[in-house]
Amino acid sequence: MKKIEFIVRGVCVKNGQILLCKNKDKNYSYLPGGHIERRERAEDALVRELKEELGVTASVQRFLGCAEFCFRQKKRWVAEINLVFQIAIPRVTTRKNPVAVEDHLEFFWQPLDTLATSNLQPEILRSLLPQWQQAPGFSSSGEGWKNY
């Protein structure tokens, strides 16, 4: 049976920049966060993931939107539901890139005005995040789900 992964993501914006994350061996970035574990609330999962990945305590401020995402990874289809929240991380500043706790990750600040041309995945978030700052929304990866 194929499963759908439930992912929680955080949007931290400071000084016109957004915090992004990437695996060091990949060429794309994503919003900080990770998988929601069994019997875990989405907000609690996001706080836990940020503590594990960045070693900092974040606060979840509000729900921004949901993005379905379906993609191929290592010859198999992966389906995700990404719950996206606005977050605050007081101890992180834009003066330098935060240092990841986990060796395979790196964090960096991306200017918001270049988000549309960034390598952020799911790609639809590049255009939706500015809209979601005004009102929550939903997006679907559309045709990708037919392959799943």
Tens of pLDDT along 42-82?
999 999 999 999 999 999 999 999 998 888 888 888 889 99
As a whole number of angstroms, the distance between CA 125 and CA 84 comes to 10
State residue 147's pLDDT score.
Answer: 56
What burial letters (b/e) apply to 84-108, b meaning 16+ CB within 10 Å? Answer: bbbbebeebebeeebebeeeebbbe
Q: Tell me which residue of 86, 88, 84 sits closest to 138, measured CA to CA.
A: 84
pTM above 0.75, yes or no: yes
State residue 28's pLDDT score.
Answer: 94
Q: What is the mean pLDDT of residues 93-119?
A: 94
Domains and CATH numbers, the chain: 4-137 (3.90.79.10)
Q: What is the largest CA-CA distance in the chain?
A: 46
